[in-house]
Amino acid sequence: MRFYFIGICGVAMGNAAVLLSRLGHTVSGVDAGTYPPMSELLREAGIKTFEGYEEGRLKEENPDWVVIGNTISRGNSEVEWLLESRRFPILSLPELLQKFVLRARFNIVVAGTHGKTTTTALTTFILRENGTRAGYFVGGVPYDLPFGADFGEGNAPFVIEGDEYDSAFFDKRSKFVHYEPSIVVINNLEFDHCDIFGNLSDVQKSFSHLLRLVPRSGYVLLNGDDPNVQALLPIDWTRILTVGVGKECDLRITNFEEKGRKSEFRLSWRGKEWQSLSMSQGGLFNARNTAMAALAAGLALYPNDPMRISLSSVAYFSGVKRRQEVLFTDETVTVIEDFGHHPTAIGQTLDYLKSRYQDKHLVACFEPRSNTSKRNIFQDEFADAFSNADRVLIGPLHRASLIPERERLDTLHLAKILEKRGVSAVAFEGNPALLETLLAYLQSEVKQSYVVCFFTNGSFDGIVKELVSRLTSGDSLFLRRPG
């Protein structure tokens, strides 16, 4: 079949295009801009891409199906031509996956506000390391899997990241309601995506819709420590299992400890010791991701005794790009990039970095870019999140003009609050100025070593790559430190 993607260069859309191409379909697509790494991935897969939208192109491509990404809006010239001509059938990305990938599969849907990508990748990794060719669809770039998505074998489980964001301009339901789950994982639940949801109750309502799709023979795995998740109970139509540190949890995490550059903890299943684990990912939140992945994979392969599954692969799981990803390290500075844009995720990451790198000065750089982080909804929560850093550099709001002024995050006020709490903080009008200030600061102390963590769900105007480039060049600025 022939598929044409409108908005092909998004991570999810691009991964889906490559997946269909590897299944033997003819795939092409368009985006406003085509940039690495997705443009390179599509080219390597032999997928023809176009830059810029043109009405006449669809007639030339003559697809059987047109897939429309959720970033595409009415007014797009190709969308308007489609709606007028009715010449080709349209699908949202979730509908595409449901129709051509997920139908009649044992699907594990990993949902929650935070940790979906890592948990999806780790669940798949555990399943594959236990001898099954599980399929998967990850909303990121996993280190330990060959692609961002793979069909696997039809009789093996399929693990998919379940996003609560809307499906398309013509389908405002959450993506995950299309995914036909056999197992649902809900790692945590908070208010986010304020452009889609009005409040926490709206978010919980959407998650409850997902849970209604799980069959009686399936499982729902819930964070037993999160009251926002527990508020989804009771659920009478399928089996519920809880995961967490609480004594009442079915799968319990105990003895969590950061040891050097590793995290160690124990898992017990319904009061019975299961396994002691060591992993490179830090923070209790990643221990919970691991516990969820272990139980989901165990139930998929051994529903009567999930403890039969081997978890030895957890020790060498490398993670996912842009999730606490170390981009550079030497004796002076470690540079980390993280996708965090919600105050809870940022706060948890900084807590773990503070614990793991106790001998280093912790610098947090923040780009308010998501629709929620650019607004003042979490003005106070961001101050709490960054309080564990030694220094905070705050970039300007990305495309601030799209947000009414009275609703915008006040970065100057955020910096002032942090200063009152004893955290050195500066808000910048431009990201290049942030980078130059950071470089000057890193050179100012001869004997100090640093961890610099960039929090962004976008490009940060290229300053992360620029810093790493300068550090890896032979002319490193740190070679010229005073003294």
Q: Which residues contact 325 (CB under 8 A, 6 or more apart)?
A: 319, 336, 337, 338
**Cα separation values, 451 from 91, 224, 259, 359, 405, Å:** 44, 33, 18, 10, 34
3-state secondary structure of 257: strand
Residue 478's pLDDT is what?
A: 52
Nearest to 191 by CA among 113, 133, 135: 113
Which residues does 204 contact at the CB level (< 8 Å), separation at least 6? 189, 228, 231, 232
- Supply the mean pLDDT for the chain: 93
- Give the mean pLDDT of 197-210: 95
Which residue type, as a one-letter code, is found at position 371?
A: N
Mean pLDDT for the stretch of residues 235-264: 94
List, in order, residues 6 or more apart from 226 with CB less than 8 Å away: 188, 189, 244
pLDDT band at 435 (very low <50, low <70, confident <90, very high): very high
pLDDT score, position 446:
57
Predicted confidence band of residue 282 (pLDDT cuts 50, 70, 90)? confident
Q: Note the pLDDT tens digit of each residue in 115-151.
A: 999 999 999 999 999 999 999 999 888 889 988 999 9
Q: Which residue type, as a one-letter code, is found at position 461?
A: D
Q: Region 3-15: what's the mean pLDDT?
A: 94
> Do 231 and 204 contact (CB within 8 A), yes or no?
yes
- Does the pTM surpass 0.75? The reply is yes
pLDDT of residue 483: 44
Domains of the chain and any CATH numbers: 2-88 (3.40.50.720), 95-316 (3.40.1190.10), 325-480 (3.90.190.20)
Tens of pLDDT along 14-73? 999 999 999 999 999 999 977 777 888 899 999 999 999 998 899 999 999 999 999 999
Cα 122 to Cα 317: distance, rounded to the nearest angstrom = 7
The dihedrals phi and psi of 426, each to the nearest 5 degrees, come to -140, 135
- Cα separation of 70 and 6, whole Å? 10
Q: What is the pLDDT of residue 422?
A: 94
Q: Tell me the pLDDT band of 482, cut-offs 50, 70 and 90.
A: very low
* DSSP type of residue 98: I
pLDDT over 70 (residue 99): yes
Q: How many CB atoms lie within 10 A of CB 25?
A: 15
Torsion of CA 193, 199, 202, 204, to 10 degrees: 90
Lowest mean pLDDT segment, chosen from 44-48, 309-313, 441-445: 441-445
pLDDT score of 479 more than 60: no
Comparing CA positions, the residue from 103, 89, 100, 95 lying closest to residue 4 is 89
Nearest to 231 by CA among 194, 175, 192, 190: 190
* Residue 447: pLDDT over 80: no
pLDDT per residue over 360-375, tens digit each? 999 999 999 998 999 9
Rg, C-alpha atoms of the chain = 23
